[in-house]
Structure 1
């Protein structure tokens, strides 16, 4: 009896792991684990872990900040004293 084996590179479990690993690496970083350790334990590239930490760190850095609204009518290129002679 013939037997066929189908190999799939994109199994749902692989996609779930690709979603969970970045979140896990950020949580491990918050708990003091190094990026190299997290990368090796989660099967990620160390550069990928570093980029995640950088982008998440920026978001956390500014999370509690209030920002003023941009001036809608002001020309950003016009110097305040440009009308003075």
Structure 2
């Protein structure tokens, strides 16, 4: 029972972090020169990606994916 609860909780956290990450990228796309929005998108992207990792640390591949997402959001 305990594992099921934590699995569901982790899925909810991951879904919430995904939504926050998408919102951060959307805000950044609306104002791509804002360095604060860039930093927020990076931090939220790291939290989102690390939420699905066993050790809760983003990998080098996650960092690359986040950088690509931010670059794409800032492209016009």
For Structure 1 versus Structure 2, the TM-score category normalised by the shorter chain is: 0.3 to 0.5
TM-score, normalised by the number of residues in structure 1:
0.39
Say which structure is richer in helix. 2
Larger radius of gyration: 1
